[in-house]
Structure 1
Amino acid sequence: MFRADLDSTWLVGSLHALMKLALDEVSHDRLPRDHAADLITTSTLALWRN
């Protein structure tokens, strides 16, 4: 179940920010490309689940 206590605009914005952060980290060789998707998924689920 998705969170109902946070505005959907905030949740979508947080996903966008996580994706941009992952891209920046991969681009600067601070995060392996194959690990970025796992981090985005894990972080998003932790933030969005109630």
Structure 2
Amino acid sequence: MSGENSTQPVDLTSTQNVQRGQEVYDRITSGTCRDAVAELDAAYSRESKRN
């Protein structure tokens, strides 16, 4: 069907993804993260939906 998102949802509870998220969170809280959305998208191999 046209227009549907065919990607699978990311399991944010997997050990690997929890670690990735924690690393980004640590960068956010320490002030070293310049673009949280971009870093989270990269951590979870997602394409940004921002224009």
TM range (shorter): 0.3 to 0.5
If the length of structure 2 is used for normalisation, what is the TM-score?
0.47
If the length of structure 1 is used for normalisation, what is the TM-score?
0.48
Greater relative CO (CA pairs within 8 A, separation 6+): 1
Q: Which has the larger radius of gyration?
A: 2
